[in-house]
């Protein structure tokens, strides 16, 4: 299938061009920083931003995509499941 947008620059507001399941881990960083995180099941999401700041987002809702530039999703404090990192 031809990609009519091939060659266009991808910005942070562009649609995702890739995705990977996220398995929360307290020490192992994500393979690539995200531009968004899809939440499959409602719960808390504890993550580290590319800036190094760590925050807990309580009550992250199922079915939502949160525009987050994360490098780590921590197991401790994360109760949301079905997480997918979008890039």
Tell if the pTM clears 0.95, that is, is over it.
no
Please give the pLDDT value at position 7: 77
- Domain locations along the chain: 19-86
70-73/64-66 β-pairing: unpaired
Please give the pLDDT value at position 45: 98
Exposure letters 9-39 (e unless 16+ CB within 10 A, then b): eeeeeeeeeeeeebebeeeeebeeebbbbbb
Residue-wise pLDDT tens digits, 27-50: 999 999 999 999 999 999 999 999
The ranges of the chain with pLDDT < 70 are: none
Please give the pLDDT value at position 6: 78
């Amino acid at each position: 299938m031809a990609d009519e947008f091939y060659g266009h620059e991808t910005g942070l507001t562009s649609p995702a061009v890739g995705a990977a399941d996220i398995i929360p881990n307290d020490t192992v960083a994500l393979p690539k920083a995200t531009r968004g995180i899809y939440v499959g099941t409602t719960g808390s999401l504890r993550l580290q931003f590319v800036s190094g700041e760590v925050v807990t987002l309580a009550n992250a809702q199922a079915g939502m995509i949160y525009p987050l530039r994360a490098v780590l999703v921590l197991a401790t404090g994360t109760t949301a499941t079905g997480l997918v990192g979008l890039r």
